[in-house]
Amino acid sequence: MTKITAAEVNKLRQATGAGMMDCKKALVEAEGDFDNAIDVLRKKGQKVAEKRADRESSEGAAVAKINADNTVGVAIVVGCETDFVGKNDSFVALANAIGDIAINCNSKEELLAADFEGMTVAEKMVEQTGVIGEKIELNAFERLEAPYVGSYVHINKIAAIVGFSAKVDKADELAKDVAMQIASMGASTLSYKDFDPAFVASETDARIAVIEKDNEEAVRLGKTLKNVPQYISMSQLTPEVLAKAEADAKAELKAEGKPEQIWDRILPGKMERFISDNTTLDQEKCLLDQTFIKDEKLNVAKYVASYGDVKVTDFKRVSLG
């Protein structure tokens, strides 16, 4: 029987992250051959991976990486089965190491095939499945390029990257704030201009139906009724719709007996309220139209504009689950 030294076991452990006993058994099986011992551990990982293929990998770590000149960003999720493993320092380190490789890849497939210390990233995850005993896989990969890219990661659960049209003064501060907004508020598109009209129409019907149902219950309980909006997106507020809203507001002011000479001071507020009440979809889904989380007096578009001649060009968000 080949004698295995503690130094050899430790060397294999450092290379693979496997436990001491697993490393010793692998070296014994490989008759002391280091490379063969790695193959033994990898085959063990493959067997574990096959057994756990139907498991959910809804926990893990979300990672964002930006290249040295802030022109490329990636956001990935390396998934595992339990929160306990997802929070483990070694697992988080693995996810970050994969993120460092991802910054030079253009797709999930390219990342999985990329080199990770002599094996592919895909093989490394199989190996670590054997080490950890849980299914490990790459659950998300997002990439973007822009003249300036920044990121934000929320406790390894959510990662966001955002691109800007130019690098401005304090660009790092701007990028972190907007990426934090993306992570926190979950926008799905940049602007209401990106919406498909059919989607807006179906969402309008669905939201109105929900409010009307809530109001039926409110009537029964003697509670205040919710406002039923006519519209939910700026894409629906045509010049004709806004002109009618302004005419209605003027008629209301006249009925209230407000002097016509002060209408100009009141109308802007009424129109702002009309737009706010009738753009709820934009405020939820569109990054630029959302209320800025650090200053409720601004939306994100106005906050970005406060930094000068710069615009958000794109953003990506990944999360666990």
% of the chain residues with pLDDT over 90: 61
Q: What is the CATH number of the domain that holds 132?
A: 3.30.479.20
- Predicted TM-score (pTM) of this structure: 0.77
The lowest-confidence range among 18-32, 39-53, 280-294 is: 39-53
35: tokens are: 């490379």
Summarised one tens digit per residue, pLDDT across range 186-224 is 899 999 999 999 999 999 999 889 898 988 888 888 888
Same domain, residue pair 244 and 288: yes
Rounded Cα distance, 272 and 265, in Å? 12
pLDDT over 60 (residue 49): no
| Model pLDDT, residue 17 | 65
Burial of 79 (0-12, 13-18, 19+ CB in 10 A): buried
Tell me, yes or no, whether 319 lies in a domain. no
Do the Cβ atoms of 54 and 140 come closer than 8 Å? no
Which of 131, 164, 184 is the C-terminal boundary of a domain?
A: 184
Give the model's pLDDT for residue 126: 85
Task: Look at residue 36 in the predicted model and tell me its pLDDT.
Answer: 80
Does residue 176 sit in the same domain as residue 79? Answer: yes
The residue among 220 and 315 whose pLDDT is bigger is 315
Instruction: For residues 99 and 141, state if they share a domain.
Output: yes
**pLDDT at residue 2 tops 70:** no
Q: Are residues 89 and 146 in the same domain?
A: yes
Residue at 269 is within a domain: yes
Residue 51: is its pLDDT beyond 70?
Answer: no
Residue 86 tokens read as 């997802």
Closest to 76 in 3D by CA, of 46, 102, 39, 114: 102
Beta bridge partners of 119: 116
Q: What are phi and psi of 244, to 5 degrees?
A: -65, -40
- In a 13 Å sphere around the CA of 198, the CA atoms on its Cβ side amount to 0
Average pLDDT over residues 179-184: 95
Instruction: Give the residue-averaged pLDDT of 172-180.
Output: 96
- Which range of 82-86, 159-163, 227-231 scores highest in mean pLDDT? It is 159-163
pLDDT of 114 higher than 80 = yes
Read off φ and ψ for residue 69, nearest 5 degrees. -100, 15
Calculate the average pLDDT of the chain. Answer: 89
In a domain, 320, yes or no: no
Residue 119: inside a domain, yes or no? yes
SS (H, E, C) 262-315: HHHHHHHHHHHHHHHHCCHHHHHHEHHHCECCCCCCCEHHHHHHCCCCCCEEEE
Q: 150 and 179 in contact (C-beta within 8 Å)?
A: yes
**Strand, helix or coil for residue 195:** coil
Residues 70, 178 within the same domain = yes
| Degrees, nearest 5: CA angle 79-124-141 | 45
Helix 20-29 with 6-16: angle, nearest 10 deg: 110
User: Pick the residue with more confidence: 209 or 17?
Assistant: 209
Is residue 46 very low, low, confident or very high in pLDDT (cuts 50, 70, 90)?
low
- What's the whole-number mean pLDDT along residues 161-186? 95
The burial of 181, by beta-carbon neighbours within 10 Å (0-12 exposed, 13-18 middle, 19 or more buried), is given as buried
Q: Are residues 18 and 68 in the same domain?
A: no
Q: Are residues 173 and 77 in the same domain?
A: yes
Average pLDDT over residues 250-277: 90
Q: Is residue 306 part of a domain?
A: no
Q: Which domain-ending residue is among 184, 216, 240? A: 184
Question: Which pLDDT band holds residue 7 (cuts at 50, 70, 90)?
Answer: confident
| Edge-first strand listing for the sheet containing 148-154 | 148-154, 158-164, 312-319
Least confident of 24-28, 185-189, 283-287: 24-28
Token pair recorded at residue 136: 């490990």
Q: How many domains, in total, are found in the chain?
A: 3
- How far apart, in whole angstroms, are the C-alpha atoms of residue 115 and residue 118? 6
For every residue of 4-35, DSSP letters joined together read: --HHHHHHHHHHH---HHHHHHHHHHTTT-HH
For residue 266, pLDDT over 70 is answered with yes
One domain, residues 69 and 143: yes
Q: In this predicted structure, what is the pLDDT of residue 26?
A: 78
Query: Average pLDDT for residues 53-79, to the nearest whole number?
Result: 91
Three-state SS at 148: strand
Identify the pLDDT of residue 219.
87
Whether residue 133 is contained in a domain is answered as: yes
Gap between the Cα atoms of 15 and 116, Å rounded: 12
Domain that holds residue 36: 6-51
What does the pLDDT average to over 295-299?
Answer: 90
pLDDT at site 131 = 78
Mark whether 34 and 100 lie in a shared domain. Answer: no
Helix 34-51 / helix 6-16 crossing angle, nearest 10 deg = 50
